[in-house]
Amino acid sequence: MDIRIFETSEELDLYAAEIFRKLINEKPNAVLGLATGSTPVGIYAKMVEDYKNNKVSFSGVTTYNLDEYVGLTPDNDQSYAYYMNQNLFSHVDIPAIQTNLPDGMAEDPQEECRRYEAMINEHPADIQLLGLGHNGHIAFNEPDEHLSAGTHVVKLKEETLEANARFFASIDEVPKEAYTMGIGSILKANTILLVVRGSDKANIVKEALTGPITTKVPASLLQTHPRVTVLLDREAGRML
Ligand code: GLP
Protein backbone atom coordinates (compact mmCIF):
# COMPACT_ATOMS: atom_id res chain seq x y z
CA MET A 1 0.00 0.00 0.00
CA ASP A 2 1.18 3.46 -0.86
CA ILE A 3 0.09 5.63 2.08
CA ARG A 4 0.46 9.41 1.78
CA ILE A 5 -0.31 11.90 4.50
CA PHE A 6 -0.96 15.54 3.56
CA GLU A 7 -0.59 18.66 5.67
CA THR A 8 -3.66 20.31 4.15
CA SER A 9 -6.87 19.15 2.51
CA GLU A 10 -6.06 21.30 -0.50
CA GLU A 11 -2.78 19.45 -1.12
CA LEU A 12 -4.63 16.14 -0.86
CA ASP A 13 -7.27 17.30 -3.35
CA LEU A 14 -4.64 18.51 -5.82
CA TYR A 15 -2.76 15.23 -5.57
CA ALA A 16 -5.89 13.14 -6.12
CA ALA A 17 -7.10 15.27 -9.04
CA GLU A 18 -3.67 14.93 -10.63
CA ILE A 19 -3.93 11.13 -10.45
CA PHE A 20 -7.23 11.32 -12.37
CA ARG A 21 -5.90 13.91 -14.82
CA LYS A 22 -2.81 11.84 -15.66
CA LEU A 23 -4.84 8.67 -16.08
CA ILE A 24 -7.41 10.31 -18.38
CA ASN A 25 -4.74 12.07 -20.44
CA GLU A 26 -2.96 8.76 -20.96
CA LYS A 27 -6.19 6.84 -21.50
CA PRO A 28 -9.01 9.10 -22.73
CA ASN A 29 -11.53 6.25 -22.53
CA ALA A 30 -10.65 5.45 -18.91
CA VAL A 31 -13.27 3.87 -16.65
CA LEU A 32 -13.56 5.68 -13.31
CA GLY A 33 -15.18 4.20 -10.24
CA LEU A 34 -16.55 7.15 -8.27
CA ALA A 35 -17.70 7.76 -4.72
CA THR A 36 -19.94 10.19 -2.87
CA GLY A 37 -19.97 11.56 0.70
CA SER A 38 -18.20 14.66 1.95
CA THR A 39 -14.69 13.25 1.39
CA PRO A 40 -14.44 13.54 -2.42
CA VAL A 41 -16.14 16.95 -2.80
CA GLY A 42 -12.83 18.87 -2.89
CA ILE A 43 -11.31 16.37 -5.32
CA TYR A 44 -14.21 16.80 -7.74
CA ALA A 45 -13.84 20.58 -7.47
CA LYS A 46 -10.19 20.28 -8.56
CA MET A 47 -11.16 17.95 -11.41
CA VAL A 48 -13.69 20.55 -12.60
CA GLU A 49 -10.97 23.22 -12.37
CA ASP A 50 -8.65 21.06 -14.48
CA TYR A 51 -11.40 20.68 -17.07
CA LYS A 52 -12.09 24.43 -17.14
CA ASN A 53 -8.36 25.10 -17.56
CA ASN A 54 -8.30 22.72 -20.54
CA LYS A 55 -6.01 20.30 -18.77
CA VAL A 56 -8.34 17.33 -19.19
CA SER A 57 -11.42 16.24 -21.12
CA PHE A 58 -13.96 13.75 -19.83
CA SER A 59 -15.62 13.21 -23.22
CA GLY A 60 -14.37 9.62 -23.57
CA VAL A 61 -14.56 8.67 -19.90
CA THR A 62 -17.09 6.24 -18.45
CA THR A 63 -17.99 6.32 -14.75
CA TYR A 64 -19.57 3.85 -12.34
CA ASN A 65 -20.60 4.99 -8.89
CA LEU A 66 -20.35 2.77 -5.88
CA ASP A 67 -23.83 3.12 -4.50
CA GLU A 68 -27.26 4.76 -4.43
CA TYR A 69 -30.14 4.96 -1.98
CA VAL A 70 -33.14 2.75 -2.72
CA GLY A 71 -36.23 4.84 -3.45
CA LEU A 72 -34.66 8.19 -4.30
CA THR A 73 -35.09 9.69 -7.77
CA PRO A 74 -32.09 11.33 -9.48
CA ASP A 75 -33.68 14.74 -8.97
CA ASN A 76 -33.98 14.20 -5.21
CA ASP A 77 -31.24 16.39 -3.79
CA GLN A 78 -30.17 13.62 -1.40
CA SER A 79 -29.68 11.01 -4.11
CA TYR A 80 -26.16 10.17 -5.14
CA ALA A 81 -27.13 10.79 -8.78
CA TYR A 82 -27.98 14.37 -7.83
CA TYR A 83 -24.72 14.71 -5.86
CA MET A 84 -22.66 13.54 -8.83
CA ASN A 85 -24.37 15.99 -11.17
CA GLN A 86 -23.89 18.85 -8.72
CA ASN A 87 -20.27 18.10 -7.91
CA LEU A 88 -18.88 16.83 -11.19
CA PHE A 89 -20.94 15.69 -14.16
CA SER A 90 -22.80 18.92 -14.95
CA HIS A 91 -19.54 20.92 -14.90
CA VAL A 92 -17.50 18.80 -17.30
CA ASP A 93 -17.91 17.43 -20.83
CA ILE A 94 -18.87 13.87 -19.91
CA PRO A 95 -21.94 12.67 -21.87
CA ALA A 96 -24.71 11.63 -19.47
CA ILE A 97 -24.95 8.23 -21.16
CA GLN A 98 -21.40 7.45 -19.99
CA THR A 99 -22.23 8.03 -16.32
CA ASN A 100 -23.66 5.14 -14.34
CA LEU A 101 -25.19 4.71 -10.91
CA PRO A 102 -27.54 2.03 -9.62
CA ASP A 103 -31.10 3.16 -10.37
CA GLY A 104 -32.68 3.97 -7.00
CA MET A 105 -36.14 3.70 -8.58
CA ALA A 106 -35.65 0.33 -10.33
CA GLU A 107 -38.80 -1.78 -10.15
CA ASP A 108 -36.97 -5.05 -9.62
CA PRO A 109 -34.06 -4.53 -7.22
CA GLN A 110 -32.55 -7.98 -7.82
CA GLU A 111 -32.56 -7.41 -11.56
CA GLU A 112 -31.01 -3.97 -11.03
CA CYS A 113 -28.17 -5.56 -9.03
CA ARG A 114 -27.56 -8.09 -11.82
CA ARG A 115 -27.62 -5.34 -14.48
CA TYR A 116 -25.16 -3.16 -12.58
CA GLU A 117 -22.78 -5.99 -11.72
CA ALA A 118 -22.75 -7.18 -15.36
CA MET A 119 -21.72 -3.68 -16.48
CA ILE A 120 -18.90 -3.53 -13.94
CA ASN A 121 -17.69 -6.93 -15.08
CA GLU A 122 -17.66 -5.77 -18.65
CA HIS A 123 -15.92 -2.47 -17.87
CA PRO A 124 -13.72 -2.88 -14.80
CA ALA A 125 -12.58 0.44 -13.37
CA ASP A 126 -9.08 1.69 -14.12
CA ILE A 127 -9.29 3.45 -10.79
CA GLN A 128 -11.81 3.21 -7.98
CA LEU A 129 -12.15 6.17 -5.63
CA LEU A 130 -13.28 5.26 -2.10
CA GLY A 131 -14.15 7.05 1.11
CA LEU A 132 -14.31 5.31 4.48
CA GLY A 133 -17.24 5.08 6.91
CA HIS A 134 -16.60 5.49 10.65
CA ASN A 135 -17.43 1.83 11.15
CA GLY A 136 -15.02 0.73 8.42
CA HIS A 137 -17.59 0.46 5.65
CA ILE A 138 -16.65 1.05 2.04
CA ALA A 139 -19.45 2.04 -0.32
CA PHE A 140 -22.33 0.62 1.77
CA ASN A 141 -20.64 -2.67 2.67
CA GLU A 142 -21.37 -2.64 6.37
CA PRO A 143 -19.42 -4.62 9.01
CA ASP A 144 -20.94 -8.10 9.32
CA GLU A 145 -20.21 -11.81 9.79
CA HIS A 146 -20.07 -12.15 6.03
CA LEU A 147 -19.88 -9.76 3.10
CA SER A 148 -21.39 -9.94 -0.39
CA ALA A 149 -19.14 -10.12 -3.42
CA GLY A 150 -21.34 -8.46 -6.01
CA THR A 151 -23.74 -5.52 -6.23
CA HIS A 152 -26.57 -6.00 -3.74
CA VAL A 153 -29.21 -4.23 -1.70
CA VAL A 154 -28.15 -3.57 1.88
CA LYS A 155 -30.05 -2.58 4.99
CA LEU A 156 -28.14 0.35 6.44
CA LYS A 157 -26.82 0.13 9.99
CA GLU A 158 -28.13 2.50 12.62
CA GLU A 159 -24.71 4.21 12.87
CA THR A 160 -24.70 4.82 9.10
CA LEU A 161 -28.23 6.27 9.21
CA GLU A 162 -27.07 8.56 12.01
CA ALA A 163 -23.89 9.56 10.18
CA ASN A 164 -25.81 10.37 7.00
CA ALA A 165 -28.73 12.10 8.77
CA ARG A 166 -26.74 15.38 8.65
CA PHE A 167 -27.63 15.58 4.94
CA PHE A 168 -31.39 15.08 5.51
CA ALA A 169 -34.07 17.12 7.29
CA SER A 170 -34.32 14.38 9.94
CA ILE A 171 -33.01 10.86 10.51
CA ASP A 172 -36.44 9.45 9.57
CA GLU A 173 -35.94 10.71 6.04
CA VAL A 174 -32.69 8.78 5.50
CA PRO A 175 -33.52 5.81 3.27
CA LYS A 176 -33.12 2.52 5.16
CA GLU A 177 -31.75 0.61 2.19
CA ALA A 178 -29.21 1.20 -0.53
CA TYR A 179 -27.73 -0.42 -3.58
CA THR A 180 -24.03 -0.96 -3.24
CA MET A 181 -21.24 -2.54 -5.18
CA GLY A 182 -19.94 -5.55 -3.26
CA ILE A 183 -16.41 -5.95 -1.97
CA GLY A 184 -15.68 -8.21 -4.96
CA SER A 185 -16.97 -5.57 -7.39
CA ILE A 186 -14.69 -2.98 -5.76
CA LEU A 187 -11.62 -5.22 -5.72
CA LYS A 188 -11.94 -5.77 -9.48
CA ALA A 189 -10.65 -2.24 -10.09
CA ASN A 190 -7.14 -2.02 -11.45
CA THR A 191 -6.13 0.60 -8.87
CA ILE A 192 -7.86 1.75 -5.69
CA LEU A 193 -7.64 5.25 -4.27
CA LEU A 194 -8.84 5.39 -0.67
CA VAL A 195 -9.24 8.90 0.72
CA VAL A 196 -9.88 9.67 4.39
CA ARG A 197 -10.02 12.94 6.27
CA GLY A 198 -10.51 13.96 9.89
CA SER A 199 -9.36 12.95 13.32
CA ASP A 200 -12.62 11.08 14.03
CA LYS A 201 -11.53 8.47 11.46
CA ALA A 202 -7.93 8.03 12.69
CA ASN A 203 -8.83 4.90 14.65
CA ILE A 204 -10.67 3.15 11.86
CA VAL A 205 -7.91 4.11 9.39
CA LYS A 206 -5.40 2.33 11.61
CA GLU A 207 -7.62 -0.74 11.98
CA ALA A 208 -8.41 -0.93 8.28
CA LEU A 209 -4.84 -0.52 7.08
CA THR A 210 -2.83 -2.29 9.75
CA GLY A 211 -5.30 -4.53 11.62
CA PRO A 212 -6.41 -8.06 10.74
CA ILE A 213 -8.33 -8.61 7.51
CA THR A 214 -11.88 -9.12 8.73
CA THR A 215 -15.45 -8.68 7.50
CA LYS A 216 -16.00 -6.70 10.73
CA VAL A 217 -13.92 -3.95 9.11
CA PRO A 218 -14.86 -4.16 5.43
CA ALA A 219 -12.11 -1.72 4.39
CA SER A 220 -9.50 -4.13 5.78
CA LEU A 221 -10.14 -6.30 2.71
CA LEU A 222 -8.38 -3.60 0.70
CA GLN A 223 -5.17 -5.03 2.15
CA THR A 224 -5.64 -7.94 -0.27
CA HIS A 225 -5.52 -5.65 -3.34
CA PRO A 226 -2.12 -5.25 -5.03
CA ARG A 227 -2.48 -1.57 -6.01
CA VAL A 228 -3.99 0.61 -3.30
CA THR A 229 -3.04 4.24 -2.74
CA VAL A 230 -4.28 5.83 0.48
CA LEU A 231 -4.50 9.61 0.80
CA LEU A 232 -4.95 10.92 4.34
CA ASP A 233 -4.99 14.33 5.88
CA ARG A 234 -2.77 14.79 8.93
CA GLU A 235 -5.66 14.14 11.36
CA ALA A 236 -6.83 10.90 9.74
CA GLY A 237 -3.25 9.62 9.61
CA ARG A 238 -2.27 10.56 13.15
CA MET A 239 -2.37 6.98 14.54
CA LEU A 240 -0.28 5.33 11.85
C1 GLP B 1 -21.39 6.97 3.01
C2 GLP B 1 -21.09 6.41 1.61
C3 GLP B 1 -19.67 5.97 1.47
C4 GLP B 1 -18.76 7.04 2.05
C5 GLP B 1 -18.96 7.10 3.54
C6 GLP B 1 -18.17 8.21 4.22
O7 GLP B 1 -22.28 6.21 3.74
N8 GLP B 1 -21.94 5.36 1.16
O9 GLP B 1 -19.36 5.69 0.11
O10 GLP B 1 -17.43 6.74 1.78
O11 GLP B 1 -20.30 7.14 3.91
O12 GLP B 1 -18.75 9.44 3.99
P13 GLP B 1 -18.06 10.82 4.27
O14 GLP B 1 -17.03 10.99 3.19
O15 GLP B 1 -19.15 11.85 4.16
O16 GLP B 1 -17.45 10.74 5.63
Cβ-count burial of 108 within 10 angstroms (0-12 exposed, 13-18 middle, 19+ buried)?
A: exposed
Q: Is the CB of 160 under 6 A from ligand 1?
A: yes
Going from the Cα of 37 to the center of ligand 1, the distance in angstroms, rounded, reads 4
CB contact set of 181 (below 8 Å; sequence gap of 6+): 33, 64, 66, 67, 116, 117, 120, 139, 150, 151
Q: Is the CB of 131 under 6 A from ligand 1?
A: yes
The predicted model scores a pTM of 0.96
Tens-place pLDDT, residues 79-138: 999 999 999 999 999 999 999 999 999 999 999 999 999 999 999 999 999 999 999 999
Ligand 1 atom showing the smallest separation from residue 37 Cα: 15
Amino acid 217: pLDDT: 98
Q: Is the CB of 68 under 6 A from ligand 1?
A: no
Q: Is the CB of 164 under 6 A from ligand 1?
A: yes
Q: Is the CB of 40 under 6 A from ligand 1?
A: no
204-230 average pLDDT score: 98
- Per-residue pLDDT for 24 more than 90? yes
DSSP3 helix / strand / coil % (the chain, rounded to 5):
40, 20, 40
Which residues are annotated as catalytic?
Answer: 67, 135, 137, 142
Tens-place pLDDT, residues 54-80: 999 999 999 999 999 999 999 999 999
Alpha helices in the chain (DSSP H): 9-26, 41-52, 80-87, 109-122, 158-164, 183-187, 202-210
ipTM of the complex: 0.94
Give nearest CA residue, ligand 1 atom 11.
133
Going from the Cα of 111 to the center of ligand 1, the distance in angstroms, rounded, reads 25
Going from the Cα of 67 to the center of ligand 1, the distance in angstroms, rounded, reads 10
CATH classification code of 2-197: 3.40.50.1360
